Chains A and B, each alone.
Chain A
Amino acid sequence: MRNRSLLKNFAILISVSLLFLFYLERKSLAKKEEETITVWAMGAEGMKIAQMARKFEQANPGIRVITQAIPWEAAHEKLITSVVGGIPPDVSQLGTTWMAEFQAMGALVPLNEFISRSEVINQDKFFLSSWETNLINGRVYGIPWYVDTRVIFYRKDLLKEAGFDHPPRTWEELERIGKALVKDRDGDGKIDQYGMALPVKDWNILSMFIWENGGNILTPDNSKSDVESEATREAFEFYHRLFQENIVPTAEAVDVDLFHAFRTGFYPIFISGPWMIELVRNELGKEYEGRWDVAMMPKKRFPTSFVGGCNLVVFKGSKHKQAAWKFIEFMSQPEIQVEWYKIIADLPAVKSAWQDPFFNDKPMVRVFGEQLNYTKSPPNIPEWEQIADAMQRRMEELILDKMNLFQTLGTLTKDINEILEKKERIASKGKFFLSIGAILVFIWGLAFLWKRYHRKVKEIEVPEDGRISGVKRIISSLRKYHVPYLFIIPSLTILFVFLFLPVVVSFITSLTDWDIYGLANWKKISFVGFENYQTLLRDKIFWKSLFNTFYFVIVGVPFAISLALLMAIVLNEEFIRFKSFFRTSYFAPVVTTLVAVAVVWRWLYNPDYGLINWVLQTVGLPPQNWLGDTKLAMPSLIVMAAWKNFGYNMVIFLAGLQAIPDTLYDAAKVDGASYWQRFLYITLPGLRPTTFFVTVTTMIGFFQLFGEPYVMTKGGPLNSTISVVLHMYNQGFKFFRMGYASAIGYILFGIIVVFTILQIKLQKAAY
C-alpha cells in the first residue's frame, strides 16, 4: 500500500509537470500548422523579396509566405545553424559556390522528381552553366534564380585614339590593344594610361582565362589538380605576361578608385559585372555617354566568362516541400524573372526572359545576356573555397615575381592535391589506434583518480544479507532499498548524462575530425589522434585568445579582489549607518544580467556620447575610444568585470571580517598597535582562508570570459579581446568544428586545474 501510493504520487507529479511544459511548447508552435512557408533571402534581395511573395500569395491562395531578410555577413552562419538545429527555412537563396557545402551537409532536397513533373522548370530553359551549379553527383539540388557574369568594360574613344574601332575579341587583340593603349600623356616619365586593370589575386578572373583556353583547374572527376596541363599553363603564362609587359600595373592596382581611373583613362579596360553599368553611368555622367561600352570576353578558344548568382533551394527539414517547390516554379516564370529584373536588376536565369521587349533598348545589358551563353562555374565541391584561396595566394606570388611559372604551378598542384586528399591523409589507421589508446588511458586515469579519492570515503553500515552475493545481492538490495534509490535516480541520471558522460565524450570528440559534415553523416567522422591539438599549437588566434584570457585573469582578478576587500573594510566600520542599504546597492550589479550590463557599458564607453568620456572631459582629460582601441579594449572589459563582480566577493570578505574575533583587536589596541598594524597583523592573516576561496572562485570565473567580449566587442578590435571560450564558441557553434572546439575546451580545463592546484599548494605552503 505504502509503495503504491508512492509510485502513484510520483507518476502524477511528473506527468503533470510534463504536460504543463508540453502545453506551453505546443501552444507556441500551434500557429505554424497552416500551409506557411518561410523564405530566406540575402542582402538586397532580402529587402525586396516580400513584393514577390505577395504576388505569389495572390496567385496561390492557401499558401502564406513569410520572408526573412538575412544580411550577407550573417547569411552563412545563420544557414548553417538552422541546418544543424534541424529548423531551416523551407526555401532559401543560396550562392552558387555554397551549393556543394550545403549538399555535403545533407541539407538540401534533390529536386529531380519535382522537375520531371514540372511544366515550368526544365534544364533547357536555363543557361546550361548556371544549371550546372546545382548539379552534384548527377542530382539537381537547386534551381537558378538569377545569374551574374563578367564582361569587358572599355573606353571606345581611347581605343579609337589608339587605332582600334572595336573591343578586343581575342587574346592576341587584347595584348595588342593593351600595348597600344599604354601611354605617358603628360610626359613626366610615369605612365598615366595603362592597357587595362586586372586583379593580382582573384581566382574568378584568372579562371576565366583558363577556361577561355579550354583549360581546367581540376581534372573532370574533381579528384586532382589539373593546373599543370598545357592549356592551363598557357593561361597562367598569358595572364602573367600582361603584367610583365606593363600593360597592367601591379602596385597601383590596390589604391586606385576604379571610376576615377576609368574616367581619366588610367584604366581604359576593366572586367566587371552587370551592376557596374548603372554605377559607371552615374559616376561618369552624361558627358561620357557613348564614350564607353561593354563587350564579351575575348577568346582564345572560347569567349568564356564566369557564371555566378544565386539558386533557390529547398531544405530537407521543410514540412511544406510541395508549397516550397510551387514558390520556386513561380519565381522561374519568364515574366516574373523580367519583373524581378525591373525591381532589383538581377539578370534573369531563364533564357526566354531575355526575349522580353523590355531589354530591347538596353544593349549593354543584352551583352551580358549574350555572354551568359559562354560561361562556366568552378567545380562543385565543398573544398573549393580552400582551393580558390590557394590559387589566389600562388597567383599573387607569380605576378609579384616571387616565383616563376614552373614553381607556381608545381606548388599549386601540391596545394590542391593536399586539400583534396586531406581527409584520407589525416584519418589513418595509426591515428585510429593512437586515439583508442588515448581514450583508454584517459578512462583508466579517471578510474584511478576515483579510486584514490573514494578510499577516503567511509561507507555507512547497512544491514546486509550475508549469505547471498553478486548479482543476487544487488537485486535484493535494490528491492530492499528501492525507495531511496527511486528518490536519487532522477537527479543522478541527469548529473551522469550531462556532467560525467560529457567529460569522457568531450575528450573522445577532441580526438576526431567531427565537423559540420560529420554532424550530417556519422560515417564522415574519423579518429585523428592529437591532430586537433597540433593544429591548435599553430592557430594564431588561439594563442591570441590565450594571451587575452591570461591578461584578463592576471590583471582583472587582483584588481577585482582588492576592490572587494577595500569596500568590505570600509563597510565593516562600526560607525557606518544604513549598512545594509550600501551592501545591497554594491551587490546589485552581481545579480544583474551580464548581457544587459555589457550592453549598458557599451553605451557608457561610447566614444562620442558615452558617460565615461563626459566625466573625463569635465575633469579636463582627453576622451578615449575605449572599445575601439586595441590597447584599451581589454582594460575596459576588466573595469566592467570588476564593477560587476566586486559586490560578491565583498560580501564574502565581510563575513570573513566578522569571523575574526574582536578580542584580538582589543588586545592589540591595549598593546598600542596602530590602525595599520592591526590591519597588517590581524585583519590580513585572519582573512587568508577567505582570500584563498575568493581568489580561486574569481579566477575560475574569469578564465571563462565570454559574455563581455561577445556582446561588447565580438572579440575585436583586431582580436584584441577574443577569449578562449569565445574562440571555442566560434569554432564549435559558428563553424561547427566539434573536434577542434573540444580540444580548445580541454586545454582551458587543463589550465584552470593547474592554476587551482597551484593556488592550493601556495595556500598550504603559507601555513
Chain B
Amino acid sequence: MLRAGLAALAGHWRRHPLQLAMALAGLALATALWTGVQAINVEARSSYARAAALLAQDRLARLVPLVGARLDEADFVALRRAGWLVAPVIEGWMPAGAARLRLVGIDPLTAPPGALALPAGEAGGLAGFITPPGRFLADAATAPAAAAHLPGPVAAAEGVAPGVVVGDVGIVQGLLDAEGQLSRLLLWPEQPAGLPAWQAVAPGLRLETPAAAGDLARLTDSFHLNLTAFGLFAYVVGLFIVHAAVGLAFEQRRATFRTLRALGMPVATLVALSLAELLAMALAAGLAGVALGYLLAGALLPDVAATLRGLYGAAVAGGLALRAEWWAAGLAMAVAGTLVAAAAGLVRLARLPVLSAARPRAWARASARLIGGQAAAGAGLLALALGAGALPGLPAAFAAVAALLLGAALVLPGVLAAALAAVAPTARGPVAGWFLADTRLQLPGLSLALMALMLALAANIGVGTMVSSFRLAFTAWLDQRLVSELYVTARDDAEAAEVREWLAPQVDAVLPIWSVEGPLAGLPGEIYGVADHATYRDHWPLIAAMQGAWDRVAAGRAVMASEQLARRAGLAPGDALVLPGGVRVEVAGVYADYGNPVGQVLLAADRLAELYPQVERRRWAVRVAPAKAAELAAGLAERFGLEEGAVVDRAAVKALSLGLFERTFAVTAALNVLTLGVAGVALLASLVTLAGMRLPQLAPVWALGLTRARLARLELARALMLAALVFAAALPLGLALAWLLLARVNVEAFGWRLPMHLFPADWGVLLAMALAAAGLAAAGPARRLARLRPAELLGVFANER
C-alpha cells in the first residue's frame, strides 16, 4: 500500500517537474544563503577565538600601560625581581610587501603553563625559537607568505590566528624597532604569596581583565548580527517559495488524496507518506543548498575579512574550511524550513474529509479570507515596530526592524486588494474590468511572492539609502577632516623634529598628529593632540559645542570628544571627563568620527605632550598652497630619504579611505543583489505554478473572443502592474527601514548617527530592476500562453479537466 501510495503522490511531481524544480530551488536557495552566512560567521568567530586564545589571553589578566601602547621592559624586570610571575608580550605591525604582518613576540621561558605549545621541528623546539635569527609560528595560510619577510623559518602551527606571526620577544622587538619596549605583561593565574603590590613596583601600569581584553568578538557582534539578519531574511524569503509550491501541490492533489482515502488508505498513512515525500525533498534541496552556501561563503569571505579588518582591525582568514557541523546545521534548517512551510498543508490533509470535493481554487479562496486577518496582524506588528523603535538598545532596534518588515509584508496583500478595488470602478471597457477583477482573484496565489519581492525591494532601498547616506556623510566628513595638503610620517621623533624645522619656513602651518591610547570613561580610547589653528576651527565637523569651544581646547582645559565616546559615555558639552592619569577636563564639543570603533578626544598638543611625555611625535599635517604640495612632497622625500607612503597627499588618503569604505559595504551589496534574486525566483515560482491553474480561468475568455497573444500580453502587464504596485509599497517601507538603520541600529551598534539622504535616481534604477525581474518571471508563462495549442485550452472544456 505504501509503495502504491507513494507512486500516486509522486506522480504529481512527474507531471509537474517545473513545480518540483521551483520548490527545490526555493529550498536550496534559502538553505544556501542561510548556511553561507553562518559559514562566514563561524569562520570569523573561529579566527577571533584563536586570536583571543593565543597565549591564553582570553583567560589571563594582563598589565598594560596606563597610557599609550607600549610599556618599558624595565617594568617587567622589576616585577619579576619582586617575585611576580608575569610573561612579556610585544605586538606590532610589520610591512610585508603590499600587506602587513601582525607580529607577536613572546617569551617561552616565562609564558604561563599551557599558553603556547611550541611545535617540535627540524630547527629544534625552544633553542631554535629564541636563538637569532629565530623561528616563527603562523597558521598554514599565513606561513608561506610571511616566510619571505622574516629572518628565520616560519612553521605552520594550529592555534595561531590568521595574519599573525608569533616569535621570540627579543627577536620581534628587533623586527618592530622597539628594543626595550613591551605591549603587555600576562599575569600567571597562580602567584606566590607575600608579594608587594604590583602598583608599587610598576606604577605606570594598569590591570586589564580577560573580559575587557577579549572584546573583539563583542565589537564585531553587531556586524555578525547584521549578516545573520540578512541570512535569516533570505531564508524566510526562500521559504515563501517552498510554501507557495507545496501549498499548491497539496491543493492540486486534493482529488488524489480523496481517492486514496476512499480506496482505504488511513489518513495517518497519507500524512506519513506526504511527510516522507517532503523530507526527501528537504534532504535533496538541503544538500544542494549547503554546497551552494559553501561556494557563496567562499566567494564572500575575502570581502567580509576586508570589512572586519577595516571596521574593527580584526584578522579573519580569507579561506574557508569545510566543517561537518555546517552540513548538519544546513540540512536541519532545510528540513525545519520545509516542515514549517508545509505545516498548513499537512494539517489540511489530516483534516480532509473523505467526501470533500476537489476544489482547485479552495487554497486561493482560503488565502483570500486570510487577507483580512493577516492585515490586522500586520498592523499590530507595525505598531510594535513603532514601540520598539522608541526603546533603547540594539536588540530593540533589531526587533523594530523585524516587526516593521514582517508587519508590512502581512499588510501588503490587503493593501494591494484595496488598491485594485479602488481603481476597479475607473476601468474602461470590459477587458480592463476583467483584468482588474482577475488580478484581485490572483492575489492570494501571488501574495507570498509579492511579499518576498516587497521585502527584497525594501531591503534594497533601506540598505542602499543607509550605505549611500553613509557614503555622502563619510565623503563630506573626509573633505572636512582631510584639509591638510600633505601628511608626513618620520621614522622617529628626532627626524620628525628635523622635518618640522625644514618645513616651517616653506609652508603655512605644520600641525602635529600625535596620539596616545588609554581608557576614556572606562572604555578603550585615543587621545589626540591638536594645534590651535584655523584648520580645526574652520573645518572640524562638530555636532555640538559650547561657546568658545576651540578657545577652551587651546587653553588646555577642555577636549573635543568623538560622537562614539559621547554616546557611549553619555557625554555632552560642559560635562567633565577624566583622562588617563587622573587629569579632569571639560568636554567642549562633540565631533563626528565615522568608522572609528574606539572613542577619541582632541586635546591641545602642548598639553598632550605635557601629560604624556612618552607620546610619539612622528606625524605632521602640512598646510601649504595646493599648487606647491607635489613639489614639496618630492623635496621632503629627497631631503630626508623618506620611504614610499611616508609622505601622502590629501587625495591619496581620501582615495584609501573611500576604497576601504567601498570594500566594507561590498558584502552588503552582494547580499542585497542575492536577496533580490531570491525574490525574483519566488515570483517566477509562483507565476509558473499558477500558470498551470490559470487555464480554466483563461480558456473561457479566449473562447469568448480574446486571442492568446492578447491574453499573454495581459498576463505580462499584470505582473508588471503588480511589481510597480509592490515597488510603491516598498518605497516607504524601505525609507522607514533606512531611518531605523541610520538613526537606531548604527547609533547602537557603532555609536554614530548619520544624516539621512534620499536618492530618487537609485529608486528609478531599482524600479526598473523590479519591473525587469517581474517581466522576466512573467515572460515564460506568458510566452507559453501565447503559443499554447488550442487543444490544451480546449481540454478545459472537456468533461474531465
Chain B binds chain A: no
